[in-house]
Chain A
Amino acid sequence: MNDPRLIVKVGQFSLKNPVLTASGTFGFAREYNRLFPVSALGGIAAKGLTVQPRAGNPPPRLVETPSGLINAIGLQNPGLTAFLQQELPFLRELGTAVIVNIAGFTIDEFAHLASVLDGETGITALEVNISCPNVKKGGMAFGIHPEAAARVTRTVREATSLPVWVKLSPNVTAITEIAQAVEEAGADAITLINTLPGMAIDIKNRRPVLGNISGGLSGPAVKPVALHHLWQVYKAVKIPIVGMGGISTPEDALEFIMAGATAVAVGTAMFHDPYTPLKIINGLSGYLDVEQVGRVEDLIGIAHKKDGLD
């Protein structure tokens, strides 16, 4: 499984392979670590973390749609203190890259999260969530204006020496402007996409299905949208991009890599098949064999080159 051809560099550090899990779909890795060795993955992104514990949104929080899932979890998490005491010690021992996803409701909260986590060992990078559609204030508001996105990025950058990844929202008119703004503000990498707003109505009860009324759509249904955002952002920035949104197969992952992703993350597909990330890792090695490509890094952004294979 340890195929050196799959090693990718995201900024300063290397991942053993380009396959991560997406924040919020993998908890703090405990559950899926009982089904397979999480150490086989390139890395994991932990559930979105806030300064204070959060109870999350009222149920129902999930609704399935054609090849998709709408969730309105509402950033339920144990808060920073409990994370440091109960979850981080476990994450440190996983044997894979640990991405801590942070969400603030104010700029100060982002700064606080970043500076406290800066003092901790075992964290590979911070993923700054400025794109959560499921909380009333903060969350996505920081992700839809280039200046606000840059301000959050700069604040986190100044508060920590850890690599800073900024997670972008697809719910914007010009994603490239946001991407350039966070790059300029010091982001080491961009991750995209977070979920798209969506809803469903229960025609028996004549009410929205979700307790929160609306939620975020993910899964195979959003893949083409994610890929297009990635394509545009790749052209607009120089920093590495971690792509996600509906990735479910090795072929999906290859599409993202060819569109410009240095690494990919698997989210909703975990629910369809918990072994998805392992299958993608194997599938990538298989593709390199069959297509006689030296390293997966040789494929990053290759679809942008005019002289593709005929």
Chain B
Amino acid sequence: MQIETGELINITDKGNNLFHLIIKADKIADKALPGQFIQVYCSEGESYDPLLPRPFSLFRIEKEKGCLELVFRVVGRGTSWLSKRHTGSSLKLLGPLGRGFTDPREFSRVLIFAGGIGMPPLFSVAEVSKEVDFTLFYGARSQGELIFLERWQQMTDQIFLATDDGSAGQQGNIVELASSLLDSGSADFYYACGPRPMLKAVKRLMAKLKIPGELSLEERMACGVGACLGCVCRTTSGYARVCTEGPVFAAEEVVFNE
């Protein structure tokens, strides 16, 4: 974990308020693992607004090039600021942070459940799953939000899509889709990231099929390093810090209260 000033190598507007960044940050890239995240300080110079850094998962980690890639949705002031950076600008980063995914090479058949902007950390784990047989379930509100599909198709031909409006794949959500296609022999592990209701449904379905897996969670953060105790989520062993014990948790540890 360290603070590094990265250089923005490329920024692409993917439409629908989604952006893709490539950042050169050798030191963090060297240490980073799939499922870990970084904090990006989204204010300049003397400004104290926004006050807190913003956490983002790593979409890709290119160790040879010393690059990190992020994919994010503009939802507020921090992400709006970030979307307006230009190639060549510097970004202050803190990372790599948190506990990432279990190495997929430990398994033979893996399922990946990506919901909307929960997709990025799953891409980085898929990239190390090349030798592993994996199936992607990818859902979003509409077709335009299912991004980087071509790149996913280069890694697997087992891709199932769902959209809320039916503009791509099946209309509805990926968990309904998955439950009609999967049985307990379908895989020996899964990874999921997305909105809470989706994670809860994935967990329930996978528990029924007796397939173990991991969920990547989000919570509001301040320090990002474990010092403030601000980012906790409920687990079977009490509150756990999403920034330190997570963001990736074994699915059976996570307690959903809704």
Chain A residues at the B interface, C-beta cutoff of 8 Å: 24-27, 30-32, 34-35, 47, 55-56, 58-64, 66-69, 71, 73, 76, 219-220, 248-249, 268, 270-275
- Residues of chain B contacted by A56 (CB below 8 angstroms): 229, 232, 239
Tell me whether A220 and B48 are in contact in the complex, defined as CB-CB below 8 angstroms, given that A55-B239, A59-B233, A62-B221 are known contacts.
yes
Point out the residues of chain A lying under 8 angstroms from B238, CB to CB.
55
Structural contact, A271 and B220, CB atoms closer than 8 A: no
- Which residues B173-211 have CB closer than 8 A to chain A? none
Q: Is the interface of A mostly helix, strand, loop or mixed?
A: loop
Measured in the bound complex, the distance between the Cα atoms of B93 and A124 in whole Å is: 34
Contact B225 A64 (CB under 8 A): no
- Given known pairs A34-B1, A56-B232, A268-B51, the reply for A76 and B239 (CB within 8 Å) is yes
The answer on a CB contact under 8 Å between B227 and A26 is yes
Task: Contacts A69-B52, A268-B51 given; indicate if A76 touches B229 (C-beta within 8 A).
Answer: yes
Q: List 13 A-B contacts (CB under 8 A).
A: A25-B223, A25-B228, A26-B227, A56-B229, A56-B239, A59-B220, A61-B230, A64-B50, A69-B51, A76-B232, A220-B48, A274-B225, A275-B3
How many angstroms between the C-alpha atoms of A35 and B27 in the bound complex? 14
Q: Is there an interface contact between B228 and A71, defined as CB atoms closer than 8 Å?
A: yes
Contact of B168 with A by CB under 8 A: no
Does B49 count as interface, using CB distance less than 8 angstroms? yes
CB-contact partner of A67 in B48, B227, B234, under 8 A: B48
Distance in angstroms between the alpha carbons of A56 and B241 in the assembled complex: 12
Give which listed residue, B49, B51, B225, contacts A32 with CB less than 8 A.
Answer: B225
Total interface residues in chain B, CB < 8 Å: 31
A76 to B53, CA, bound (A): 23
| Distance between A11 CB and nearest chain B CB, rounded to angstroms | 27
Q: Please tell me if the beta carbons of B229 and A270 are within 8 angstroms of each other in the complex.
A: no
For chain B residues 231-252, which have a beta carbon within 8 Å of chain A? Answer: 231-234, 238-239
A272's partner among B1, B52, B221, B225 (CB-CB below 8 A) is: B52
Q: Which residue of A lies closest to B238 (CB)?
A: A55
Contact B1 A61 (CB under 8 A): no
Q: Residue on A with the closest CB to B39?
A: A271
A159 → B minimal CB distance (Å): 27
- Which B residues are CB-close (under 8 A) to A24? 228-229
Residue in A35, A63, A272 whose beta carbon sits within 8 Å of that of B48 in the complex = A272
Given A27-B227, A71-B230, A270-B223, residue A64 in contact with residue B51 (CB < 8 A): yes
Q: Which residues of A contact B234 (CB under 8 A)?
A: 58-59
- What's the nearest-Cβ distance from chain B to residue A281, in Å? 17
Cβ-defined contact, A63 with B41, below 8 A:
no
Report the bound CA distance from A273 to B224 in whole Å. Answer: 12
Residues of B within 8 A of A30 (CB): 226
Do A69 and B222 touch (CB < 8 A)?
A: yes
Are the C-beta atoms of A47 and B229 separated by less than 8 Å? yes
Within 8 A of A (CB), among B1-59: 1-3, 41, 43, 46, 48-53
Judged by a CB distance under 8 angstroms, whether B253 is at the interface is: no
Q: How far is the CA of A248 from the CA of B2 in the complex (A)?
A: 20
A73 & B41 in contact (Cβ 8 Å cutoff): no
Query: Do B51 and A219 have beta carbons less than 8 Å apart?
Result: yes
State whether B220 touches A60 (Cβ < 8 A).
yes
**Complex partner residue of A60 from B219, B224, B226, B227, CB under 8 angstroms:** B219
Question: Of the candidates B2, B52, B233, which one forms a contact with A64 in the assembled complex, judged by CB atoms under 8 Å apart?
Answer: B52
4 smallest A-B Cβ distances: which pairs? Answer: A27-B227, A62-B230, A31-B225, A31-B227
Cβ contacts under 8 Å, B110 to chain A: none
Cross-chain contact B53 with A271 (CB below 8 angstroms): yes
Say which residue of A58, A60, A220, A274 sits within 8 Å of B51 (CB atoms): A220
